[in-house]
């Protein structure tokens, strides 16, 4: 199944390091990030899971639940978590799915046969509280992901959802944002009473709401 932005993501049940879960129930009314790693006991994945563990308080602040996945068994996950703590200085503090039958991997199209027909690529799915796909990323197995960038994307998505603004290239939290074209000048006056800077009729710059 190929998921596109705006699609409702499929629900599933799975065995994880925190016990069996129903994915929709796990997410509840939160945002979610589902990400896959190719295999347990591999070097790049070890650094990634350590990074996510260190950043989990930041995801929590944003009401985002993170959950990882690989095609390895639960026993491997548990043993590997000790290596993550030892080498990365951060204990695993979010669930990992044991997708040994590849049910979830196939459901979310995480196995790309031309890259490798047995393990998942480095997929990332950002899911809104409405269970719709807001962002997807696919990295090769050899390239570790930048989870600080994924946090930045979450900040942008949440600003759009809550304030009808978009974020420009290379934007960082706290910097100016863009009023989306669907908001008329009249509506913008109500949303942004302190005003904005018009560079072009379609390019209106405003201070980030809430900052």
- Proportion of the chain above pLDDT 90, given as a percent: 70
Percent of the chain with pLDDT over 70: 95
Task: Tell me the pairing of strands 122-127 and 31-36.
Answer: antiparallel
What does the pLDDT read at residue 207? 97
- Predicted confidence at residue 177, as pLDDT, reads 98
Sign of CA dihedral 77, 80, 86, 87: negative
Residue 119 has pLDDT above 60, yes or no: no
Q: Give whole-number Cα distances, 158 to 86, 123, 199, 207, in Å.
A: 34, 21, 24, 15
Residue identified by tokens 């690529």 is: 121
pLDDT in tens, 144-185: 999 999 999 999 999 999 999 999 999 999 999 999 999 999
User: How does pLDDT run across 177-197, given as a tens digit for each residue?
Assistant: 999 999 999 999 999 999 999
User: Taking the domain 164-206, which CATH number applies?
Assistant: 3.30.1020.10
Distance between alpha carbon 138 and the CA centroid of its chain, in Å? Answer: 12
Give 182-185's long-range contacts (Cβ < 8 A, gap of 24+): none
Annotated domain spans of the chain: 13-145, 164-206
User: Over 60: is that where the pLDDT of 120 sits?
Assistant: no
Q: Which of 14, 27, 34, 45 is catalytic?
A: 45
Superfamily of 13-145 according to CATH: Glutaredoxin (3.40.30.10)
Identify whether 12 is a catalytic site residue.
Answer: no
Per-residue confidence band for 71, with pLDDT thresholds at 50, 70 and 90? confident
Rounded Cα gap, residues 210 and 163, in angstroms: 10
Query: Does the structure show a pLDDT above 60 at 68?
Result: yes
Q: What is the mean pLDDT of the chain?
A: 91
Band of pLDDT at residue 114, cut at 50, 70 and 90: very low
Q: Is the confidence at residue 118, as pLDDT, over 70?
A: no
Which pLDDT tens digit goes with each residue over 128-146?
999 999 999 988 888 899 9
């Amino acid at each position: 199944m190929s998921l596109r932005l705006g699609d409702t993501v499929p629900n599933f049940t799975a065995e994880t390091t925190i016990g069996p879960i129903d994915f929709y129930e796990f997410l509840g009314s939160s945002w979610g990030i589902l990400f896959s790693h190719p295999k347990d006991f591999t070097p790049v994945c070890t650094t990634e899971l350590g990074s996510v563990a260190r950043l989990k308080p930041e995801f929590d602040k944003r009401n985002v639940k993170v959950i990882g996945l690989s095609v390895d068994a639960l026993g491997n996950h548990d043993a590997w978590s000790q290596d993550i703590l030892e080498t990365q200085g951060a204990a695993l503090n979010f669930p990992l799915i044991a997708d040994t039958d590849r049910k979830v991997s196939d459901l979310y199209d995480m196995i790309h046969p031309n890259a490798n027909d047995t393990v998942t690529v480095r997929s990332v799915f950002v899911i809104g509280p409405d269970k719709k796909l807001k962002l997807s990323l696919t990295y090769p197995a050899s390239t570790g992901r930048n989870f600080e960038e994924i946090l930045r994307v979450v900040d942008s998505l949440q600003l759009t959802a809550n304030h009808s603004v978009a974020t420009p290239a290379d934007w960082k939290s706290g910097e100016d944002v863009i009023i989306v074209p669907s908001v008329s000048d009249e509506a913008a006056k109500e949303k942004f009473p302190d005003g904005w800077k018009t560079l072009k009729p379609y390019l209106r710059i405003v201070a980030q709401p809430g900052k």
